[in-house]
Structure 1
Amino acid sequence: MDIKSLEDELSKFIYELETENRLVRVGLKEKSSQGEIFKKYRSLFSAEILTQLKNLLKKKNTPKEIDIIERIYFTIAASFIGDKLAKLQDEITTHFAQSKVTVDGETISYYQIGPRIAKERVFEKREILEKAGLGVIEKINAKQLKVLEEEINLSKTLGFGGYLNYYSISKKVNYDKFYKVVEVITQQTASLWFGAISKVSQDLLGRPFKNINSCHTSYLRSLSMFDSFFPAAKVVPTFLANVANLGLADLISKIKIDDVARAKKNPRAVCYWPKPPTEIHLVIKPIGGEQDYEAMFHEGGHALHGAAVDPKLSYSLKTLAYSNALTEAYAFILEDLVFEPAWLSHYLDVSAYTASKIRWQAYFVNLMLLRRYLGKFTYEYWLFSAKNLKNGPALYAQKLKETTGFVFRPAYWLSDMDSGFYSADYLRAWIGAAQIKDYLVGKFGIKWFLNPKAGKFLRDLYGDGVKYELEEVVKRLGYKPLDTKLLISSYASVLL
């Protein structure tokens, strides 16, 4: 078996798949055709190739050879599963892209609901908008459940014990141990969170924090009261200026930024790496406000990572990661800049007084998101540990309510689930990003974002592509992997 030939075929397949996904997501295509791409490369995802790769792993190989073979094996395994589910996934993607709802006599695209809720100042109207989109979710739930059931069954045909076992091995994460880490964060941020949300609910939502629909988190996240300080027109230029000050401007030529506001464009920002380091796509749909800047810098972190990958690395080490925790950590590091007073003063000319207000609100929102992902992972861990999907809707509503205090509709139990325990990738990224940020400030000062030496440090990290997992990177910097102290103390230092 020729490993290099496999890598070459995988690179072509991933390029076409990411391009198709992007075109639908940005509103340039209505109908998804991922199934056709899977069909074109079907010979690559055969059980025979997976068996051959397994046999290769049993032979005497160097650690580096084993690493490459494992990355390829799990990428092809995921594609083997994806191929079987492509038709259903196309139908689901197309459903959301084509769906429209009517609100107060106006017909709008389903993807316009989220941005409208985020900017709607009237409490009751936010709930009307959320309810209008509920039917779109309920209509597709049966297909989403079928996808999940098939994914579990297919993982078993590959010799794994189910969803939890498959992702634990493929991502090299012991989820039983990680659940204990999640419990620590959940417990140690509980009083801080519920104290903060009780105050914010009264101040910004105008009512006590009791039985409040989760749709209002979108409004709270948008930081609408500070929108005037974050003009949509300056989102991209500000990012480019920051990149230049870090000495990374040369990477921008490899990044294609799509900030066009198409009606059918998914409002959730995203970054694609179809061909690192030469072709990276950053997609964003600015609506005005601090959330735009967070999204731009978050996806910008992904984009710079991809654009700085050492071209001499093998394809596997450029892009075939075991998990996404590392690149999410790099994204969080840049995202978190946009609510730091020194950054706000330098780039947006915000006064110290206003910057402190923005910082408090932003840390509150960040903690709100952290608590949501703690709830999401807890729900997913319980669901797949029990191996009983029938309890999914009730378990989802229960665990999200326990960790956030908000009321989440049971109907969202599948649409709010990112496949492959991505919730754990995010949580690992939160922990690791706090450690790398601590290193940056200690090494280059609080204004490290203006220091080309800090940019050089980041470029060196980015250059390794996905060769290392996040915990390996922080360990090399002198930190204990999955140590939550810096993460938890960062919230306490601002919100208390």
Structure 2
Amino acid sequence: MKVEEIRKQGENLISDLGKYYLRKGLGKEIKEELREIYSKYKGIFTKENIENLKCNENLSFREKKYLLSFLFQGYIGKECFELTREIAQRELQTLVEVDKGEISLKYAQLLLPAEKNREKRLALDKKLGEGQAGINALREKRVDILKRIATDFGYRNYVELIHDITPVNFNTLKELGKKFLTQTETKYTTLLKKLEGYYLEEGSEPLQKSDITYIFKSNPFDKYFSDIELIPTIEDTLFRLGINILEQNNVTLSLDPKEGKAIKSFCCPVSIPDEIHLVLNPKGGIEDYQDSLHETGHCQHYAYTSKDLPFEYKRIGDKSVGEGYGYLFQQLIANELWIDKFLDMDEDTLTKYKVFIDGYNLYIIRRFCGKLLYELEIFSGPKEDKTLKEKYVKIMEEAVKVKVNPENYLLDLDIGFNTSNYLRAWIFESYLREYLVNNFGGLWFLKKESGDFLKNLWKSGSMYRTEEIVENIGFKDFNIDVMIKYFVI
């Protein structure tokens, strides 16, 4: 298949998938299954296309890397499709006993963070682990498939394959992750102790991951994040940046609560930049504001992307770039100046909230640092490693400083290495924020000049790597120091 045909079919496939997920997210009738959509484009994700593209000398290094990323991701998804489907079915078929009877493992996982009684919460976590243990053999087969694909294409391991098709330098990122864990440990453990004292009843058991998720889900600050004020707050924030989302002809907003509509906000770029859908389902609370602001960042990135860019720069590119723009808006809920402007939170509450939100952000980032270290162990190690469970427990407990369920050692795994994209996105966001504060002041989110700066960046879609953008806006190198500064200084 020629490159132009790959681009054309790739755009059509992603557009069709966008329409599918949009209808599903809006609670509308689904006309066709995912399998049917992929079957229409089965000629794209072939070994022959990948090998031919590797040998193509008419493409730039950047074009080839991004197109190879698209083909490999599709090929890997195709090879793992049936097994992934079987895993999902087993999660629905495996039953877990709770107070109200037996429910599926998948839905029992959603109950865990909401269980107030610590004894019951720990017991449920144990049952969830027992349920996952029965599915881990399937997940091991999927890991084996990924390792086999890597060797089939001549790579030493799966890490080397991903390194070849993405902008990630795993050796560098690994060291940055280790540095973040080391230099934020004192601050994190202090915040963790405060959170435990504030929000947990005393118990003899060591602090568990389920305790942390309970703290973050059942917090006393949700009432300050009103469902009624969510949409006006987003509209006003964008308006101050010089963006009137209500007048963006290429952005369709779905804002009304509706039965069957997705609970979480999402952005669906059916065609970039011509048809972008932002779907919000206001229910209030910190998590709702986080998700909605994050998806707003994606929406504006897509909406201002240049129409003239080729497929690989609009649709593929460096995924950390788009996530970084999402985090820039999401992190406004941790910005005291933004909170003072848009939320009704008194000074004493704000002080307690900062302990909460900084603890939350540190936990999430440290967890992803641990996940990266663990995933590198899985995918760069020997084909059969019987010590993965032990490695998972050791690495993750050192990262988050709480006990984890050993049976989640393959559940808590991103087979696409998106963990690395999120880590680079957080680093990228810290540089963006630093630039905006240095050039437009702490109230940068109220200034049209800040919006003009962002619009100019958004034009290039995801063509440039995060490292390139950081250098282009005046920073000498791409490291973890700026992000660390926001937590420990």
Report the TM-score when normalising by structure 1.
0.88
Aligned to 1:4: 4
Which of 365, 370, 380 aligns to 1:370? It is 365
* Residues 98, 124 of structure 2: 8 Å contact kept: yes
Q: How does 1:60-459 map to 2 (within 5 A)?
A: 61=58, 65-94=60-89, 96=91, 102-105=97-100, 113=108, 116-131=111-126, 133-134=128-129, 137-207=132-202, 211-222=206-217, 224-248=219-243, 249=245, 250-251=247-248, 254-257=251-254, 260=257, 270-282=266-278, 288-321=284-317, 323-387=318-382, 388-459=384-455
The 1:308–1:193 alpha-carbon spacing in structure 2 relative to 1, beyond 3 Å, is same
Cα offset for 1:456?
1.4
2:49 aligned partner, one-letter code: I
The 1:37–1:148 alpha-carbon spacing in structure 2 relative to 1, beyond 3 Å, is farther
Cα offset for 1:470?
0.7
SS of alignment partner, residue 442 of structure 2: coil
Cα offset for 1:231?
2.1
2:172 aligned partner, one-letter code: K
The answer to whether the aligner puts 1:492 opposite 2:488 as a matched pair is yes
Query: 2 CA distance for matches of 1:108 and 1:158?
Result: 42
The 1:140–1:169 alpha-carbon spacing in structure 2 relative to 1, beyond 3 Å, is same
* Residues 110, 133 of structure 1: 8 Å contact kept: yes
SS of alignment partner, residue 276 of structure 2: strand
* Residues 130, 407 of structure 2: 8 Å contact kept: no
* Residues 147, 379 of structure 2: 8 Å contact kept: no
Cα offset for 1:332?
1.3
Cα offset for 1:466?
0.6
The answer to whether the aligner puts 1:38 opposite 2:45 as a matched pair is no
Cα offset for 1:490?
0.9
The 1:444–1:243 alpha-carbon spacing in structure 2 relative to 1, beyond 3 Å, is same
* CA distances 1:254-305 after superposition (whole Å, capped 9, x unpaired): 244477576795x665544342223334456665421221121122212221
Structure 1: gaps (5+ residues) = none
Query: 2 CA distance for matches of 1:237 and 1:118?
Result: 29
Cα offset for 1:16?
2.6
Cα offset for 1:126?
3.4
The 1:48–1:466 alpha-carbon spacing in structure 2 relative to 1, beyond 3 Å, is same
The 1:283–1:123 alpha-carbon spacing in structure 2 relative to 1, beyond 3 Å, is farther
Query: 2 CA distance for matches of 1:27 and 1:217?
Result: 32
Query: 2 CA distance for matches of 1:470 and 1:260?
Result: 36
Query: 2 CA distance for matches of 1:279 and 1:209?
Result: 54
Report the TM-score when normalising by structure 2.
0.89
1:216 aligned partner, one-letter code: D
Query: 1 CA distance for matches of 2:27 and 2:133?
Result: 23
SS of alignment partner, residue 202 of structure 1: helix
Name the stretch that deviates more: 7-16 or 152-161. 152-161
Query: 1 CA distance for matches of 2:101 and 2:25?
Result: 23
* Residues 113, 133 of structure 1: 8 Å contact kept: yes
Name the stretch that deviates more: 472-481 or 115-124. 115-124
1:254 aligned partner, one-letter code: V
Query: 2 CA distance for matches of 1:272 and 1:140?
Result: 32
The 1:211–1:262 alpha-carbon spacing in structure 2 relative to 1, beyond 3 Å, is farther
The 1:260–1:383 alpha-carbon spacing in structure 2 relative to 1, beyond 3 Å, is farther
Cα offset for 1:223?
6.0
SS of alignment partner, residue 215 of structure 1: helix
Name the stretch that deviates more: 379-388 or 256-265. 256-265
SS of alignment partner, residue 280 of structure 1: strand
The 1:275–1:448 alpha-carbon spacing in structure 2 relative to 1, beyond 3 Å, is same
* Residues 65, 166 of structure 2: 8 Å contact kept: no
Query: 1 CA distance for matches of 2:126 and 2:256?
Result: 28
Query: 1 CA distance for matches of 2:389 and 2:130?
Result: 16
The answer to whether the aligner puts 1:475 opposite 2:471 as a matched pair is yes
SS of alignment partner, residue 273 of structure 1: strand
The 1:27–1:314 alpha-carbon spacing in structure 2 relative to 1, beyond 3 Å, is same
Cα offset for 1:334?
0.7
SS of alignment partner, residue 308 of structure 2: coil
